[in-house]
A = this chain, B = another copy of it.
């Protein structure tokens, strides 16, 4: 792919897009809602909850982690996941700012 015009979006636009992209799949929305409702949980609980295979759930968790929306702490042989409160608040503010630009 070529980029004749050099791409230079603003930092905030890139960050907001990254958060939005992470939220852009029903499975990940469901995972986050589940996480928010239970405070913390293990991968296995999500697998039981959702209609997708363990490998796929693990991949979605990885993406949410990469986006910064969740965190995982090892608790052998499991991994306890929770929402990252700081980034959660940050992304909440990002969306709020975007939407209040019009309403």
Interface string of A62-101 (1 = CB under 8 A from B): 0000000000000000000001010011011001101101
Q: How far is the CA of A36 from the CA of B85 in the complex (A)?
A: 29
* Interface flag for A103 (CB, 8 Å): yes
- Count of chain copies: 2
B21 touches A9 (CB 8 A): no
- What residues of chain B lie closer than 8 Å to A95, measured between beta carbons? 92, 95, 99
* Interface flag for A43 (CB, 8 Å): no
Given contacts A5-B53, A88-B103, contact A24 B26 (CB under 8 A): no
Minimum C-beta distance from A15 to chain B (A): 9
Minimum C-beta distance from A51 to chain B (A): 4
